[in-house]
Amino acid sequence: MAFRVEKTIGALLAPSVRATEPRPSGSGFLLALALCLAAPALAQQEFRYQVRHDHLWKGRAGTLVIGEKGVSFSETGKKHRWSWVYQDIQQLEIAPRTLRVLTYEDSKWKLGLDREHRFDLTAEGSFAGAYGFLRDRLDQRLVAALADVEVRPLWEIPVKHLQRFGGVQGALIFGQDRVVFKTTANNESRTWRYADIENVSSTGPFQLTLTTYERALAHYGNLKGFNFQLKQPLDEARYDQLWRRVNLIRSNQ
């Protein structure tokens, strides 16, 4: 499937201008000004984070870079380095302070399972700033383990996300182009574009299941289902609207 590529807003650096250069006049000045204003839009966007790389024996501190072509990690003071172009990333999960890169490489220590790299922020801040950047470059392989604050709610409903042992409470927010599960539980929030949802189903007005393309080996077909207990009844009209929206996008893929 082709990537969605859109214009995004990120951290851009404008080019420096030497004070000794003569200032253009008239139309030349206007042209130079227009080029200067346009330069940031043409510059390559990049996000840099100080992180700790989770490792089998011990963690490694270094710099994680999220850029136009992919993701890379450079270990501090050593030559260890990993880099992946986006097509070589099987799944990328982004949470407020954790980022996971699942590759197509086999892990010898895990009997051939795909190798995953985990990175945790070591300084103040959040990966949320890179979320919109990644959202426009990755398809269903992006897992957003955070609540998108830019969602424009059409309607929402309080829920409990049922898990193997217990569950977490929050709200499902349905927008024009995405669904958000918002909760205060650490790394349990989710944002799904409608293209990230494989199916919706319900056994009654107080239950809703979203089957997503997030990888889950314990689930059928390697898809992950999110089972929600609803605190308010979901009327049939809204369920039908949701079902049609998801299936319309699937039919156009």
Q: Where are the domains of the chain?
A: 46-144, 153-252
**How many angstroms separate the Cα of 162 from the Cα of each of 79, 134, 226, 230?**
44, 28, 8, 10
Percent of the chain predicted with pLDDT > 70: 77
One-letter amino acid for residue 207 of the chain: Q
Weakest-pLDDT range from 4-8, 41-45, 119-123, 166-170: 4-8
pLDDT of res. 160 = 98
Q: What pLDDT sits at residue 111?
A: 55
Q: Is the pLDDT of residue 61 over 90?
A: yes
Higher pLDDT among residues 106 and 202, named by residue: 202
Give the side-chain half-sphere CA count within 13 A for 252.
8
pLDDT of 251: 78
**62 with 70: CB under 8 angstroms?**
no
CB atoms within 10 A of CB 38: 10
Determine the pLDDT at residue 11: 37
pLDDT at 136 > cutoff 50: yes
Q: Is a pLDDT exceeding 70 seen at residue 10?
A: no
pTM above 0.95, yes or no: no
Rounded Cα gap, residues 45 and 74, in angstroms: 18
**Quick one: pLDDT band at residue 108, thresholds 50, 70, 90?**
low
Distances (CA, A) of 14 to 10, 21, 67, 69, 237: 12, 17, 17, 20, 50
Q: What is the pLDDT of residue 38?
A: 47
The pLDDT assigned to 15 comes to: 36
pLDDT band for position 79 (cuts 50, 70, 90): confident
Is the pLDDT at 250 greater than 90, yes or no? no
Which DSSP string corresponds to 50-114?
Answer: EEEEE-SS--EEEEEEEESSEEEEEETTS--EEEEEGGGEEEEEE-SSEEEEEEEEE-GGGTTPE
Mean pLDDT, rounded, for 134-153: 95
Fold of 46-144: PH-domain like (2.30.29)
- Looking at residue 114, what is its pLDDT? 85
Look at residue 77 in the predicted model and tell me its pLDDT. 82
pLDDT at 130: 96
* CATH code for the structural domain at 153-252: 2.30.29.30
Give dist(CA 158, CA 169) in Å, integer. Answer: 8
Asked whether this chain's domains 46-144 and 153-252 adopt the same fold, the reply is yes
Min mean pLDDT across 109-113, 165-169, 240-244 is at 109-113
pLDDT of residue 5: 34
Instruction: Work out the pLDDT band at 249, boundaries 50, 70, 90.
Output: confident
Radius of gyration of the chain (CA): 22
